[in-house]
Amino acid sequence: MKHVFAKLEKSGTTAPLLFDLYTRCYRGVVGREIELAGVDRRDTVLNVGCGAMPFTAVLVAKLADADVYALDNDDSVPERARRNVAYANVADRVQIVTGDGRAADDAPLPHETVTTAFVAVQATPKAEIVDHLRALEDGPDRIVVRHPRGAVADEYGALPPAYEPVDAVSHPMPTFGKSLLFERR
């Protein structure tokens, strides 16, 4: 399922209508996550696992008026993602970068300004990503992680039960049922 969605996103980057549809489906999800983490225009957000259709990054920029660094480890994503960001008219607030969430300090972004991280459901391994973000000296204070539903948890990778969030919000999505909020230690 994870690979099917990735292919759909990549093939749909030349179809603005598909991007609009995808973004509409996630508007409520991202709105709840913004509220969960208390994101506003003073924040700079790192979106780990943005994909070719970086709807989370676009919606954070639009709904919270925050600056966003959208990170993906797939070299074929940036060009496609930039097209969608430009189409959504937020290219001035969303920067697409290539890198690995487990080594986000190696990505070309100003870590000292990143206040919040959003970790996509398809980003793996989640525990390593969360641990890395928490360990960064100038890392984000808040980390929102989309938690996969049981039926797809093995494919998308879930955080171990020992990872206890400080808060959470539920979603009616087929692949993930909630977003978990963690704070940096």
pLDDT at residue 41 greater than cutoff 80? yes
Question: What CATH superfamily classification does 2-183 receive?
Answer: Vaccinia Virus protein VP39 (3.40.50.150)
Q: What is the domain partition of the chain in residue ranges?
A: 2-183
Q: What is the pLDDT of residues 74-114, one digit of tens each?
A: 998 899 899 999 999 999 999 999 988 887 666 666 656 89
**For residues 63 and 31, is the Cβ–Cβ distance under 8 A?**
yes
- Averaged pLDDT, 141-146: 98
Q: For position 6, what pLDDT does the model report? A: 47
C-alpha 16: how far from chain center = 20
Reported as type and span, the H/E element at residue 145 is strand 142-148
pLDDT at 73: 92
Q: Whole-angstrom Cα distance, residue 57 to residue 84?
A: 10
**Taking Cα atoms as reference points, which of 145, 133, 172 lies closest to residue 56?**
145
